[in-house]
């Protein structure tokens, strides 16, 4: 199957490899571009670090890493945990892919009064931070990257939409942006007819609102499960 990959280039290659291993052809048409931010680290100390995105630990400035190398690092899932380990963090604890569950674990491990530094993107949902605050855990945020909307797809990317049979969407925002980019490139009809595989139910919402009829949601919010959803009988 020819599969459109709309995630940013830094992670698209890994998805393309996974698709190839499953017998699919990846067609890359990123909806966003990643910009690394250089915001100052809030003053510590912190009882733990946390991240709900695999991109976050990879984006922390290398000069800040030594201060946190041994600080407990709570990762939302195994992919984020693996990224944290590759980035040099030494005490990494992987969750099950759910931000609410990760917040509950942090509260259970550290208790009220703890201070947590969340490594995050500029665009994010506030649920994780709100859950910690409601439990009496202070959550400081360090924005380490931004996913910038692309101004448009080039001719090759637009042609990939026409050739594709399916598309993968890794977030609600990227799905909405992909719809906008398809419209701007004049390939909206071709885009809507695809089988759209989404990482979560919220990620599928813009597609449903746009009238896309063929939508599937991964059983778990991971890249591997999204690829598996392309061949549900396998």
Q: Hunting for tokens 């001719």 — which residue is that? A: 155
Q: In this model, does residue 111 exceed pLDDT 90?
A: yes
Q: In this model, does residue 106 exceed pLDDT 70?
A: yes
With both helix axes pointing from N to C terminus, report the angle between 201-209 and 172-184 in degrees, rounded to the nearest 10.
30
- Reduced to 3 states (helix: H, G, I; strand: E, B; else coil), residue 94 is strand
Q: In this model, does residue 234 exceed pLDDT 50?
A: no
Condensed to tens digits (0 to 9), the pLDDT of residues 14-65 reads 999 999 999 999 999 999 999 999 888 999 899 999 999 989 998 887 778 7
DSSP notation for 59-78:
HS-GGGGGGGTTS-EEESSH
- Reduced to 3 states (helix: H, G, I; strand: E, B; else coil), residue 132 is helix
Domains annotated on the chain, with CATH: 2-31+152-229 (3.40.50.10090), 35-147 (3.40.50.10090)
DSSP state of 150: P
- Reduced to 3 states (helix: H, G, I; strand: E, B; else coil), residue 129 is helix
Q: What percent of the chain clears pLDDT 90, i.e. is strictly above it?
A: 75
pTM of the predicted protein model? 0.80
User: Which token pair is 120?
Assistant: 């995050």
Alpha carbons 97 and 81: distance in angstroms, whole number: 10
Condensed to tens digits (0 to 9), the pLDDT of residues 159-211 reads 999 999 999 999 999 999 999 999 999 999 999 999 999 999 999 999 999 99
Condensed to tens digits (0 to 9), the pLDDT of residues 96-105 reads 878 889 999 9
């Amino acid at each position: 199957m020819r599969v459109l990959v709309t995630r940013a280039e830094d992670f698209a290659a890994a998805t393309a490899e996974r698709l190839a291993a499953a017998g699919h052809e990846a067609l890359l048409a990123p909806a966003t571009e990643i910009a690394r931010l250089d915001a100052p680290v809030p003053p510590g100390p912190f009882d733990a670090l946390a991240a709900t995105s695999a991109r976050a630990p990879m984006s922390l400035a290398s000069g800040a890493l030594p201060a946190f190398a041994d600080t407990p690092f709570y990762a939302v899932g195994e992919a984020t945990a693996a990224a944290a380990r590759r980035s040099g963090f030494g005490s990494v604890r992987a969750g099950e892919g759910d931000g609410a569950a990760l917040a509950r674990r942090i509260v259970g491990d550290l208790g009220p009064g703890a201070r947590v530094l969340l490594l995050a993107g500029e665009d994010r949902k506030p649920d994780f931070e709100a859950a910690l605050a409601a439990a009496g855990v202070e959550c400081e945020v360090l924005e380490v990257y931004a996913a910038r909307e692309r101004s448009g797809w080039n001719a090759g990317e637009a042609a990939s939409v026409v050739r594709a049979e399916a598309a993968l969407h890794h977030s609600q925002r990227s799905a909405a942006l992909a719809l906008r980019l398809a419209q701007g490139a004049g390939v909206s009809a071709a885009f809507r007819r695809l089988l759209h595989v989404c990482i979560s139910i919220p990620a599928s919402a813009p597609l449903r609102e746009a009238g896309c009829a063929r939508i599937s949601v991964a059983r778990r919010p991971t890249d591997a499960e999204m690829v598996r959803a392309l061949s549900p009988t396998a």
